[in-house]
A and B are shown apart, each in its own frame.
Chain A
Amino acid sequence: MPLISDDIHRLAKLARIDITPAETARTLTELNNIFSMVETLQAVDTAGLEPLCHPIATIHEMQLRLRPDVVTETDHRAANMANAPQQENGLFLVPKVLE
């Protein structure tokens, strides 16, 4: 079922991306083209198959590694904050959230 403009607005909201009316129209066409190409997946019989998340799981079972719950990082606060658009006293500044 093709997407409609409302879907694009909903997706843009979910993705937290502002979208102009002109972009909405173009995006609608493009996404519908993409989804009609993607639609061919639906016809594939995948009954009983597990999704493949880590490609190497094709040949043997994979488990995500766990590490000991200990501190491994030293303090890089100044370096990590150097790219902040706005900061004050070592804190990231954002617009007021609570009045």
Chain B
Amino acid sequence: MTHDFMSPHLQSLRQLRESLDTKQVSAVELAEYFLARAEMHADLNAFLHIDRDLTLLQARAADAQIASGNISVLTGIPIAHKDIFVTQHWRTTAGSKMLENYISPFDATVVEKLKTAGMVCLGKLNCDEFAMGSSNENSAFGAVKNPWDQSRIPGGSSGGSAATVAAGLSPAATGTDTGGSLRQPAAMCGITAIKPTYGTVSRYGMVAFASSLDQGGPMAKSAADCALLLDAMIGFDAKDSTSLATHEKYKTPIAAALLTAFASTSRAGTGVGKPLAGVRIGVPWEFFGDGLSPDVAQAVAAALAEFEKLGAVRVEISLPRTSLAIPAYYVIAPAEASSNLSRFDGVRYGHRAAEYKDLADMIAKSRAEGFGAEVKRRILVGAYVLSHGYYDAYYLQAQKVRRLISQDFQEAFKKCDFIMGPVAPTSAWKFGEKSNDPVAMYLEDIFTLGVSLAGLPGMSVPCGFGQNGLPIGLQVIGNYFEEARMLAAAHQYQLATDWHLRSPEAFK
């Protein structure tokens, strides 16, 4: 590492690329630097498994690639994976005692793609058990702490990923989103994340929670970084039964669109500094009701005003079934979870109880011991809504309401290009504040669930700080396959603001 190369943890992926290309730093040095930071801040509890030798092996391979000149834009840059993505060499626990010592025989497609792009894996990141939770308190290995205030939750379920990026323990991380698990922790930790359109990032090798909702995505400091990562993650995968054929809109790199997406709208006469001229931003009044914390409302309003300064036009819209997304989601997701998690029986892998009478008893005891309280709760809810006599009334009805919610978004997109509002009603809360009341915790997901049910792309963009200096996230929702334009709009906002560049004091 040359002397004038400073603070890699504050650099963008493009800056790291340049430093690697100009030999100011090697991939091995970068990996060692971030591993040392992860170790120094082990009290955050963000990492579940680090294996220095494995990481350095990948870093040396990246350095060899760099030396040969045969590189991608991400070669040699470190990343850490949410422990929902299976990895062939690092343990994959999904935050559950059930998989405490599980080593996957294969890599998830996302892991493989990022490895192929030359990224160096730093290890595996803590999360709510099987990605079920909004606070990270459901991890069997203890909750991750929020780097902005360690007495508070980092959000969930991708809390380890969000905290890792916020604390500069890795320049990038993967996460997954079933009902808000990329966006909400990104908001709580002040970083940028995008959940792409359902079906664009492969689910192969993601420990399944609710298959019609689960979607992987990148978490990083900025929209520009997320664009580079998303380019490497996206693409059709024959191994994922709901993977979509690669859409026209992804044929040009998303990172390239960052610079060109709004070129045609900033035509002569619209004035300098109005890159988003003519872009219509839909603001649903349902996202600004009673439950919204005043500091969040204020930060989001200021962000919308900034977008208007950049030339965007504000359009009032309605998403009339916003509150119905909660019951619909909390029927559909548990139903799919109860089905997906039936594979954990203590026979082929995972926890097996030490004592039992017979096969049925072995399975029931292994599941009782291996699963945590929230996972069991959702399996039981799922078993109920799928059981004879209740399937039509609950599960099918929820899937029909899901269609209505999704149609509402399509109606809204007739009037606007993006929808914007808060990611969550409040900033990060204290540990234990909501953990005794599952329903209170579910209600926190009100603004993210509809997007998940509709399979739309959704982002969280840092937009300020509220009470107690805690970060707040702006949600940017696009229509299907609009990731490039969403990231480009967010990029324009980030060129004009510096919220995404702020770091918590203890991690500068």
Chain A contact residues, CB within 8 Å of chain B: 3, 7-8, 11-12, 14-19, 27, 30-31, 33-35, 37-42, 44, 46, 49-56, 58-59, 64-65, 67, 76, 79-80, 82-86, 92, 94-97
Contacts and interface: CB of A to CB of B under 8 A. Distances in A.
Contacts of A97: 358-359
Contacts of A67: 238
Contacts of A54: 198-199, 212, 242, 455
Nearest to A40: B327
Given A41-B397, A56-B480, A95-B358, A11 B363 contact: no
Contact of B403 (A8, A17, A42, A50): A50
Nearest to A93: B347
A34 B329 CA distance: 12
Q: Is the interface of B mostly helix, strand, loop or mixed?
A: helix
A80 B347 CA distance: 12
B249 interface: no
A96 B323 CA distance: 50
B402 A38 contact: no
A8 B384 CA distance: 9
Contacts of B455: 54-56, 58
Interface stretch (B32-40, B41-49, B349-357, B427-435): B349-357
Nearest to B442: A37
B177 interface: no
Contacts of A59: 410, 480
Contacts of B163: none
Contacts of B383: 11, 14-15
Contacts of B50: none
Interface in B377-430: 377, 379-384, 387, 393-394, 396-404, 406-407, 409-410
Contact of A52 (B244, B350, B377, B399): B399
Nearest to A17: B367
B424 to A, nearest CB: 18
A81 to B, nearest CB: 8
B331 interface: yes
B348 A84 contact: yes
Contacts of B323: 40
Contacts of B213: 55
B454 A30 contact: no
15 contacts: A11-B384, A15-B380, A16-B367, A17-B368, A19-B368, A33-B438, A34-B381, A37-B327, A52-B399, A55-B406, A55-B455, A58-B409, A59-B410, A83-B349, A84-B349
A20 to B, nearest CB: 8
A41 B387 contact: no
B311 to A, nearest CB: 28
A31 B198 contact: no
Given A14-B387, A55-B455, A83-B348, A49 B381 contact: no
In this complex, which of A40, A52, A86, A92 has the most chain B Cβ atoms within 10 angstroms of its Cβ?
A52
A96 B359 CA distance: 7
B326 A46 contact: no
B404 A55 contact: no
A84 to B, nearest CB: 6
Contact of A58 (B350, B356, B442, B454): B454
A56 B380 contact: no
B324 A40 contact: yes
B112 to A, nearest CB: 15
Contacts of B324: 40-41, 44
B406 A49 contact: no
A12 B367 CA distance: 10
Contact of A94 (B241, B327, B347, B377): B347
A96 to B, nearest CB: 8
B401 A46 contact: yes
A27 B380 contact: yes
Given A41-B401, A52-B399, A58 B377 contact: no
A23 to B, nearest CB: 8
Interface string B232-247: 0000001001101000
Given A8-B380, A41-B331, A55 B454 contact: yes
A59 B356 CA distance: 51
A83 B182 CA distance: 29
B377 A41 contact: no
A42 B397 contact: yes
A10 B327 CA distance: 23
A44 B381 contact: no
B330 A82 contact: no
B439 A33 contact: yes
Given A33-B438, A34-B439, A52-B399, A18 B105 contact: no
- 3 tightest CB-CB pairs across the interface, nearest first? A55-B455, A51-B399, A79-B105
A32 B453 CA distance: 24
A17 B356 CA distance: 13
Given A56-B480, A97-B359, 20 more contacts: A11-B383, A15-B383, A17-B379, A17-B380, A18-B365, A27-B377, A33-B438, A34-B439, A40-B327, A42-B393, A52-B399, A52-B402, A56-B199, A58-B410, A76-B105, A76-B106, A85-B346, A94-B347, A94-B359, A95-B358
